[in-house]
A and B are shown apart, each in its own frame.
Chain A
Amino acid sequence: MSKAFLMKGFQSLRGNPMDVTACEINELMTIKSIETIDPEMRDFLFSLGCFEGRTITLISILGSTYIVNISDARYSIDAQLAQAIKV
């Protein structure tokens, strides 16, 4: 069982949505919310089409960097951003 799988189970038990760092690779996820106190980050993600209701796919994890697919484009995001995106 993968770590991500365990995380997923654990988080769903607690009723919390999980974030992108815990996603399975290649799995199309729907964004539940963007949780950040930084309005700039929220606006920024919004402008890329990354907000609740939209989809996101984790493509690969390179160290502390997450490659994701949002609205037909590839982005490299850091852990801080990945944690803000709840799915």
Chain B
Amino acid sequence: MRIALAGNPNSGKTTLFNAITGSIESVGNWPGVTVARKEGEVKRNLYKKNEAIRIIDLPGTYSMSPFTLEERITRDFVRNESPDVIINIIDANNLSRSLVYTTQLLELGVPVVVALNKWDTVKQKQTDINTETLSKQLNCPVIPISAIQNQGLRILIETCYQIKGKKQIAPYRCMIVENVEHVAESDKKRFEFVSAIVTEAEKRKVTSDKQTIHDTIDRIVANRYLGMPIFAIILYAVFSISQSTIGPWIADYMVAGIDSLYVFAESAMSEAVSPLLKTLLLDGIIGGVGAIVGFLPLIMVLFFMLALLEDSGYMARVAVVMDPIMKKVGLSGRSIIPMVISTGCAIPGIMSTRTIKNERERRTTAMLTSFMPCGAKLPVIALFAGVFFQEAAWVGTLMYFLGILVIIFGAYVIRKINNDTSKKSFFIMELPEYRWPSVKRAFTSMINQGKAFVTKAVTIILISNVVVQIMQTFTWQFQLVEEGLEATSILANISSPIAFAMIPLGFGIWQLTAAAVTGFIAKENVVGTLAVVFGITNFINTEELILVSGSIEVAGIFGLTSVAALAYLVFNLFTPPCFAAIGAMNAELESKKWLIGSIAFQLGMGYVLAYLIYQIGTFATTGQLGSGAFAGLFTVLVLIGIVLLIITKNSVETTLKVQ
């Protein structure tokens, strides 16, 4: 049997899908989390029959408007997937809006079961819904459930069995309509029909237009002046917990484990093992991968916290706070959703830009959203915060806000380049009610992220580290690199010319450049490669780093000042993301011109930012400019010049066209 799952955004569709199938897709307390099509098997303990049940999630949440505009998508879906039964999941707190879609589904000729979700909160609000009346009026079964609390699911699946193959007569049928005006007329009647049902079936003790505690909270957290500072404080708190207190505390234990693995592997290998294989295994694999895995607790704690925030409903308010700022640069609050998703991983973030209707806005967001620091960039941030800034939480917070600033500035530039003077797009955002975030779901999200992180570490990162290790061990003649002649290795040879260009940024050392370049494959590689090229297995425990480097300062290992370290960090965060994200950008931008422009823009952005931080920072701390200041200035001016030239050219062209 095949069951299709259909419902409005934020009705709890993904939660129900997870509850029925036992899978762990990510959910958020805001509309439009799901973009890709999902399919799964119903858990065996939910029904008795032997036949397997497939459940297909209807990809309907492309926009916030699920009704009229998406009717066609629903119809196409039903035609292609031919489900036996449709489960229409609706938010019981919002019948009048949800039932419109239900009446449309009922017209499709496939038996429908209505799942009245969030039944637990309906009871809390003392709203009385007569399911029998609803069922009679709609002419289909109505089952109250709570997907979060796993209630009513068995009855729901059982009902699906009972109505399979049965005919249902749609209670409301739209007349055959020929032109657009008639559609609107028919849809208005549909709304009236639904209103009548709701009035009959629902008795609210508290009507929805009265002020609630949620509105009071909104007035504070979405306040024009308080909104941003509150967001900053919350982010700072998240970082100080994950990067400065609980995270490192757990990490210390893991690092001890990795260290003992290193020692064990070293002692287990007899003298007979070739020294080459030994370094490859110890420094390349255990060292490189271990250095990244050490950051796992920090990342998991961070994602736990972010999931709690997302689940609470707060992120929708962030979008509201950011909207006026984003409007000034030709975007809207809608762009915030991809940005927030990108803090996990830029790929789903870029994919979620599909929800934005305006093409330029969509492309601009897809091209800029990867500037938000993602999970893979966290080890890099944590490493530099740990080694150079005493694990300060402000480093991470600063990088997030810098990300937001860069996106705003980038959007401004792109708007100028496109010479787009079209009117600003309107912004509307549903404000879901606040709720206590579910620890269970945050835990699931954390485990998901952790799994993805470890999988990447033992595949892509492992391979990259082995390659880096080999390139570092051999010369072009495939001779082993002699001690003291490290600069003759393949890696050094390839990286040195690029390193030359990095001198004005404060890190013109081939080791650091090699790490930044491998970062384009996957950002975790930056940490892995640094571990390999500097031969360090443990980045978390800075005390050990002091031991490794003897009496020299910890930071001395990299040969960087704190300012140069910050510049290096910024360079890694704000240059193009990993290959996979560029692939996603290619898919969403649907234009080679935009893709090339995006990569060039990101490279330029990383370079200019790192240059400014290094040179200004060095001047501020030492009173002198850093090395290569003038050569760098020249490059920066050329880059800015190119952008200005394109802007002027496009603006002249538009003026000519107008004339």
Which residues of A are interface residues toward B (Cβ below 8 A)? 26, 28, 38, 40-41, 43-44, 46-49, 51, 53-55, 57, 59-60, 62-65, 67, 69, 71-78, 80-81
Mask, B211-225, CB within 8 Å of A = 1, is 100110011001110
Given A48-B65, A49-B191, A59-B211, A77 contacting B428 (CB threshold 8 A): yes
- Which residues of the other chain, B, contact A72 by a CB distance below 8 angstroms? 93-97, 208
List 6 A–B pairs whose Cβ atoms lie within 8 Å, in order of A's numbering.
A26-B209, A44-B65, A73-B430, A75-B428, A76-B316, A78-B428
- Which residues of the other chain, B, contact A26 by a CB distance below 8 angstroms? 209-211
Set A54, A74, A80: member contacting B430, Cβ < 8 A: A74
Set B69, B100, B188, B223: member contacting A62, Cβ < 8 A: B223
Tell me, rounded to whole Å, the shortest Cβ–Cβ distance linking B356 to chain A. 12
Give the complex CA separation of A73 and B433 in angstroms: 9
Give the complex CA separation of A26 and B207 in angstroms: 12
Tell whether, in the assembled complex, residue B97 and residue A76 are in contact, meaning their CB atoms are under 8 Å apart. Answer: no
Given A71-B97, A72-B94, A73-B430, A62 contacting B224 (CB threshold 8 A): yes
The 9 closest A-B CB pairs, nearest first, are A63-B224, A57-B209, A47-B65, A72-B208, A74-B431, A47-B67, A76-B320, A78-B427, A71-B96
Work out how many contacts link A and B, with CB atoms closer than 8 A: 112
- Which residues of the other chain, A, contact B323 by a CB distance below 8 angstroms? 65, 76, 78
Tell whether, in the assembled complex, residue B222 and residue A44 are in contact, meaning their CB atoms are under 8 Å apart. Answer: no
- Which residues of the other chain, B, contact A57 by a CB distance below 8 angstroms? 209
Tell me, rounded to whole Å, the shortest Cβ–Cβ distance linking B552 to chain A. 53
CB nearest to B430 among chain A residues:
A75
- Which residues of the other chain, B, contact A63 by a CB distance below 8 angstroms? 223-224, 324
Which residues of B are interface residues toward A (Cβ below 8 A)? 64-69, 93-97, 100, 184, 187-188, 191, 208-211, 214-215, 218-219, 222-224, 227, 316, 320, 323-324, 327, 332-333, 357, 424, 426-431, 433
Given A47-B68, A71-B96, A65 contacting B222 (CB threshold 8 A): yes
Given A40-B357, A47-B69, A74 contacting B97 (CB threshold 8 A): no
CB nearest to A56 among chain B residues:
B209
- Which residues of the other chain, B, contact A80 by a CB distance below 8 angstroms? 424, 426-427
Give the complex CA separation of A57 and B210 in angstroms: 9
- Which residues of the other chain, B, contact A73 by a CB distance below 8 angstroms? 94, 97, 208, 430
- Which residues of the other chain, B, contact A38 by a CB distance below 8 angstroms? 426
Tell whether, in the assembled complex, residue A49 and residue B95 are in contact, meaning their CB atoms are under 8 Å apart. Answer: no
- Which residues of the other chain, A, contact B327 by a CB distance below 8 angstroms? 78
Tell me, rounded to whole Å, the shortest Cβ–Cβ distance linking B522 to chain A. 37
- Which residues of the other chain, A, contact B223 by a CB distance below 8 angstroms? 62-63
Set B94, B95, B191, B426: member contacting A78, Cβ < 8 A: B426
- Which residues of the other chain, A, contact B97 by a CB distance below 8 angstroms? 48-49, 71-73
Set B94, B208, B215: member contacting A67, Cβ < 8 A: B215
CB nearest to A52 among chain B residues:
B188
CB nearest to B208 among chain A residues:
A72
Give the complex CA separation of A48 and B429 in angstroms: 11
Tell me, rounded to whole Å, the shortest Cβ–Cβ distance linking B501 to chain A. 44
Give the complex CA separation of A19 and B386 in angstroms: 54
Give the complex CA separation of A59 and B433 in angstroms: 14
Tell whether, in the assembled complex, residue A67 and residue B68 are in contact, meaning their CB atoms are under 8 Å apart. Answer: no
- Max chain B Cβ within 10 angstroms of own Cβ: one of A47, A60, A63, A77: A47
Tell whether, in the assembled complex, residue A49 and residue B430 are in contact, meaning their CB atoms are under 8 Å apart. Answer: no
**Can you name 8 extra interface pairs (CB under 8 A) apart from A65-B320, A76-B427?**
A43-B68, A46-B68, A57-B209, A60-B219, A62-B218, A65-B324, A74-B214, A75-B430
Tell me, rounded to whole Å, the shortest Cβ–Cβ distance linking A79 to chain B. 9
CB nearest to A55 among chain B residues:
B209
Give the complex CA separation of A78 and B425 in angstroms: 10
- Which residues of the other chain, B, contact A28 by a CB distance below 8 angstroms? 209
CB nearest to A74 among chain B residues:
B431
Give the complex CA separation of A47 and B433 in angstroms: 20
CB nearest to B220 among chain A residues:
A62
- Which residues of the other chain, B, contact A62 by a CB distance below 8 angstroms? 218-219, 222-224, 227, 320
CB nearest to A67 among chain B residues:
B218
- Which residues of the other chain, B, contact A54 by a CB distance below 8 angstroms? 191
Give the complex CA separation of A69 and B207 in angstroms: 11
Tell whether, in the assembled complex, residue B324 and residue A47 are in contact, meaning their CB atoms are under 8 Å apart. Answer: no
Give the complex CA separation of A74 and B430 in angstroms: 6
- Which residues of the other chain, B, contact A40 by a CB distance below 8 angstroms? 357
Set B93, B100, B214, B429: member contacting A75, Cβ < 8 A: B429
Tell whether, in the assembled complex, residue B69 and residue A59 are in contact, meaning their CB atoms are under 8 Å apart. Answer: no
